[in-house]
């Protein structure tokens, strides 16, 4: 019966002692298993082949939110646990609130700790606890290209359409609208997202920097709006046109779309310094416009860039700031300002934001 496979962790502790005395190999794995798909099923089938009894720890709704962001899980815990229990490969399943598996390992003491093989055994935070009592860790290679995030993005794409944009004035507007207040990550473009080529206006010269795709994807999955704010003085100086700028952006959209990354809006200043406009960073005109357009939760938003101009913009707007060491790496020396965090690239910036969000939610 399904209900016989769903347990509390405390119930499984004495059962594990009994199975060990009977020399039965106990396997343990864990995960959110949100929107169960073929990749999950294949993984659990292979995990079951490693042991006599497979126990699955299911992350609670609260722990999934701490890791994946406030929009996850899609399927609530009480439903996810029944779905996992229905699989023939799973012998027992229980829910747990901790983010890490240390407590699970210490209490159950499985013979085999099983995880998906998208990292190395040395990176497993619970590896030392497993080996301490004589257990071992096993990684199962990921073969399926399916993921919950990809399923969610496909649903969004089907609902909102393609990456079509409408361009006018100094904004690029996407044909998608969300009225609910959400935090945003404001990101500079040149030197932060792409190689900093002076007065970039040729699409073929656009090159994404390392860490950009996984970094933006991680921030998107956390529930942040992704907004680009960029100074483009080359337009005002006559070095290139707005149409050139749009063509470069279209190349960027193509590359981001390959990873299902959607930019909510691009705001840009086409003016030179001499024009003394209110939209050129570090003035906050672009960010203020974004706040009006998109109902941004500014208190939980961030500014990421490679110059002190970007940092000063964030400070002026009351945002937390991240300096990336790509591009100019903060060596432009325009403003005596310090970032809240310095990151190697956008991926490291996303990791810090994620850690900060978890810390805030756990308080």
Residues annotated catalytic, as ranges: 188, 190
Report which of 196, 220, 198 is spatially closest to residue 208, judged by C-alpha positions. Answer: 196
249, burial (CB in 10 Å: exposed 0-12, middle 13-18, buried 19+): buried
**Closest by alpha carbon to 261, among 226, 228, 299, 230?**
226
Residue pair 182/295 in contact (Cβ under 8 Å)? The answer is: yes
What gap in Å lies between CA 244 and CA 223, rounded to an integer? 31
| 344 vs 325: CA distance, rounded Å | 5
CA distances, 273 to each of 86, 107, 113, 337 (Å)? 64, 63, 59, 20
| Cα–Cα distance for residue pair 49/51, rounded to 1 Å | 6
Phi first, then psi: give them for residue 239, nearest 5 degrees: -75, -30
Q: Who's near 340: CB < 8 A, 6+ residues apart?
A: 320, 321, 322
Structure-derived torsion over alpha carbons of residues 274, 276, 278, 281, reported in degrees to the nearest 10: 40
The tally of CA atoms less than 13 A away on the side-chain side of residue 30 is 25
Separation between Cα atoms, residue 321 and residue 255, nearest integer Å: 26
Q: How many residues does the chain have?
A: 363
Q: Which two tokens stand for residue 350?
A: 């996303």
Type and span of the H or E element at 321: strand 320-324
329 vs 345: CA distance, rounded Å:
10
């Amino acid at each position: 019966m399904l209900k016989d496979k769903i347990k509390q962790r405390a119930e499984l502790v004495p059962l594990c002692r009994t199975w060990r005395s009977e020399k039965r190999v106990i396997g343990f794995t864990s995960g959110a298993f949100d929107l169960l798909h073929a990749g999950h099923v294949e993984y659990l089938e292979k995990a079951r082949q490693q042991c006599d009894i497979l126990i699955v720890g299911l992350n609670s709704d609260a722990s999934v939110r701490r890791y994946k962001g406030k929009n996850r899980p899609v399927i609530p815990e009480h439903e996810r646990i029944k779905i996992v229990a229905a699989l023939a490969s799973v012998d027992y399943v229980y829910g747990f609130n901790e983010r890490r598996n240390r407590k699970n390992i210490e209490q159950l003491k499985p013979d085999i700790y099983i995880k998906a093989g998208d990292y190395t055994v040395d990176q497993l935070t619970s590896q030392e606890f497993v080996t301490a009592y004589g257990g071992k860790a096993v990684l199962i290679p990921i073969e399926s290209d399916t993921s919950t995030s990809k399923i969610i993005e496909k649903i969004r794409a089907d609902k909102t359409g393609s990456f079509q944009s409408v361009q006018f004035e100094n904004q690029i507007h996407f044909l998608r609208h969300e009225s609910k207040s959400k935090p945003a990550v404001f990101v500079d473009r040149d030197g932060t997202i792409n190689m900093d080529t002076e007065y970039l206006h040729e699409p073929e010269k656009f090159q994404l920097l390392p860490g950009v795709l996984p970094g933006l994807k991680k921030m998107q999955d956390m529930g942040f709006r992704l907004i680009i704010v960029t100074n483009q003085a080359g337009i005002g100086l006559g070095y290139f046109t707005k149409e050139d700028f749009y063509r470069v952006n279209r190349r960027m959209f193509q590359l981001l779309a390959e990873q299902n990354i959607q930019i909510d809006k691009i705001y840009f200043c086409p003016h030179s310094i001499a024009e003394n406009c209110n939209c050129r960073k570090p003035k906050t005109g672009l960010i203020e416009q974004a706040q009006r357009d998109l109902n941004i939760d500014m208190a939980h938003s961030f500014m990421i860039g490679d110059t002190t101009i970007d940092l000063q913009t964030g400070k002026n707007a009351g945002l937390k700031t991240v300096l990336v060491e790509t591009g100019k790496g903060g060596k432009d020396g325009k403003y005596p300002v310090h970032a809240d965090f310095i990151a190697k690239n956008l991926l490291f910036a996303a990791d810090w934001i994620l850690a900060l969000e978890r810390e805030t939610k756990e308080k």
